[in-house]
């Protein structure tokens, strides 16, 4: 179960290496992509013809020096994002993504949202997730405004949204063909985008036949409104049914499932979804790696007024924290903090890296309310190599909730 994910470290640098003290003539030639020829006396700095030769030589040496630095920058490892395939599709996504649930359009200002997206993008994050229901559509609007303002290349981004709850009318919700098409059009208008990369069915819909759902998802993909589709909070059986329908009618199957996954929520991602990953290629985009903030340790002494659990819509979270199980979880977190200390990381970083140790997890969505929190969570990248089988066993021993998979049984 603790197989290390096959992923590649790709150095990411969105800023070009600085060309310190590079003569403007050299920069111009380099930028134009032309071959550098020996300069004529008139192209050199003022001086006699005899003086031009050493200056020519100096310019060429500086140019070679610049190219040498550029070459070194291209091969030397930097603090880099890790990329994985989305399920077994060919789409490469950053193993850490930024989610907009609760935060965008609600908990944080538009300015903070822009800061978070900028930090994420400049750190190599390419996956940004939202939904039509988040803050009544405001999250999509804010996300789209930021992308437009920053002038980021659309091709460098993986934008995902989710459909199910679109409006108050009976026809503005569900996964029927009408709402999938109209709902996605609405999302694209709010985000000012021509397409999303993945559209998710935000929950199962017992009122709509599976064939209708798969046909509608295939339609929006064929129309260029989305590149792929996935599921969110679907059971393994429902995902398998969608795959079977797609194969039966030559339609497009889902590529991934969005699932809750953290220290205290393990069964589905560790026992049900691995089989789907190996059999039909469905990967996992996991959310809430810190269990809605519980794993940060901030609820150790109660519920802070500025926390999510203090908000009215999240009364259920407050009750969960204050329950007997909640107190037991806090005790386990204190023990897990010792492992984090041993690895030289924070507890949230340990929790996120622990999620990424799973080979079927394509990406973990982070939800942050301030820049320092996001920067800390992105640091989990450095902890992934430290998540050895021994560390995983220590974590299991403390949690005491490792689910049994088929591999655990010997026939």
Tokens of 140: 């999509």
279 domain residue, yes or no: no
197 domain residue, yes or no: yes
Query: 210-222 and 236-248 are packed helices; what angle lies between their axes, rounded to 10 degrees?
Result: 60
User: What is the pLDDT averaged over residues 207-220?
Assistant: 98
Residue 40 carries which DSSP code?
P
**What is the CATH classification number for the domain harbouring 162?**
3.20.20.100
81 domain residue, yes or no: no
Q: Is the distance from CB of 98 to CB of 120 less than 8 angstroms?
A: yes
Helix ranges (DSSP H) in 22-137: 24-32, 49-75, 110-122
Tokens of 33: 């992509």
Tokens of 397: 């021993």
100 domain residue, yes or no: yes
Question: Where in the sequence is the domain holding 211, given as residue range(s)?
Answer: 90-254
The confidence score (pLDDT) of residue 278 equals 95
185 domain residue, yes or no: yes
pLDDT at 257 over 50: yes
The confidence score (pLDDT) of residue 368 equals 93
Residue 326 pLDDT class (50, 70, 90 cuts): confident
The confidence score (pLDDT) of residue 322 equals 75
pLDDT at 317 over 80: no
pLDDT at 309 over 90: no
393 domain residue, yes or no: no
The confidence score (pLDDT) of residue 13 equals 43
Q: How far is CA 105 from CA 89, 195, 276, 289, 322, in A?
A: 32, 22, 35, 21, 28
Residues 280 and 360: their CA atoms lie apart, in Å, by 12
Residues 340 and 254: their CA atoms lie apart, in Å, by 36
Radius of gyration of the chain (CA): 25
Note the pLDDT tens digit of each residue in 347-403. Answer: 999 999 999 999 999 999 999 999 999 999 999 999 999 999 999 999 999 999 999
User: What is the secondary structure of 272-318 as a DSSP string?
Assistant: IHHHHHHHH--EEEEE-TTTTTGGGTTTTTS--TTSGGGSGGGHHHH
Q: How many structural domains does the chain have?
A: 1
**Average pLDDT over the chain, rounded to an integer:** 84
Note the pLDDT tens digit of each residue in 115-133. Answer: 999 999 999 999 999 999 9
CB-based contacts of 348, cutoff 8 Å, min separation 6: 290, 295, 296, 376, 377, 380
pTM: 0.79
Tokens of 279: 């059999």
Pick 25 or 215 by higher pLDDT. 215
Note the pLDDT tens digit of each residue in 126-183. Answer: 999 999 999 999 999 999 999 999 999 999 999 999 999 999 999 999 999 999 999 9
Residues 392 and 263: their CA atoms lie apart, in Å, by 11
> Which residues carry out catalysis?
134
The confidence score (pLDDT) of residue 48 equals 41
384 domain residue, yes or no: no
pLDDT at 46 over 50: no
68 domain residue, yes or no: no
CA angle, 118 as apex, 115 and 124 as ends, to 5°? Answer: 145
User: What is the pLDDT averaged over residues 269-282?
Assistant: 96
Residues 115 and 58: their CA atoms lie apart, in Å, by 43
Instruction: Using alpha carbons, select from 265, 261, 326 the residue that is nearest to residue 297.
Output: 326
């Amino acid at each position: 179960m603790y197989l290390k994910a096959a992923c590649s470290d790709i150095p990411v640098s969105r800023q070009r290496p600085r060309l310190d003290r590079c003569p403007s003539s050299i920069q111009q030639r380099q930028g134009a992509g032309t071959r550098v020829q020996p300069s004529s006396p008139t192209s050199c700095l003022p001086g006699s013809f005899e003086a031009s030769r050493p200056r020519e030589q100096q310019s060429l040496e500086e140019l070679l020096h610049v190219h040498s630095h550029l070459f070194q920058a291209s091969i030397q490892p930097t603090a880099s994002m890790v990329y994985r395939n989305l399920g077994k599709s060919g789409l490469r996504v950053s193993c850490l993504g930024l989610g907009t649930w609760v935060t965008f359009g609600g908990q944080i200002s538009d300015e903070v949202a822009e800061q978070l997206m900028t930090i994420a993008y400049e750190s190599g994050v390419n996956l940004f997730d939202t939904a039509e229901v988040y803050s009544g559509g405001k999250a999509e609007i804010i996300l789209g405004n930021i992308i437009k303002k920053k002038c980021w290349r659309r091709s460098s981004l993986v934008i995902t949204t989710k459909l199910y709850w679109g409006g108050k009318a009976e026809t503005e919700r569900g996964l029927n063909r009408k709402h999938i098409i109209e709902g996605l059009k609405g999302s694209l208008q709010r985000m000012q985008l021509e397409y999303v990369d993945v559209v998710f069915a935000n929950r199962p819909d017992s009122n709509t036949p599976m064939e209708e759902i798969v046909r509608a998802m295939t339609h929006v993909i064929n129309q260029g409104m989305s590149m792929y589709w996935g599921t969110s909070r679907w059971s393994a059986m429902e995902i398998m049914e969608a795959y079977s329908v797609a194969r039966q009618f030559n339609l497009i199957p889902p590529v991934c499932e969005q699932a809750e996954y953290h220290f205290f929520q393990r069964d589905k991602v560790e026992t049900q979804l691995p089989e789907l990953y190996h059999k039909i290629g469905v990967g996992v985009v996991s959310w809430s790696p810190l269990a809605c903030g519980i794993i940060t340790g901030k609820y150790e002494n109660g519920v802070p007024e500025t926390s999510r659990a203090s908000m009215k819509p999240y009364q259920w979270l407050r009750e969960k924290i204050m329950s007997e199980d909640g107190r037991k979880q806090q005790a386990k977190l204190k023990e897990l903090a010792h492992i984090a200390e041993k690895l030289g990381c924070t507890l949230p970083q340990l929790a996120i890296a622990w999620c990424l140790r799973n080979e079927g997890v394509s990406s973990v969505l982070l939800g942050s309310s301030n820049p320092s929190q996001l920067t800390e969570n992105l640091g989990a990248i450095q902890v992934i190599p430290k998540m050895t089988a021994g560390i995983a066993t220590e974590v299991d021993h403390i949690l005491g909730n490792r689910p049994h998979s088929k591999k655990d049984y010997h026939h």
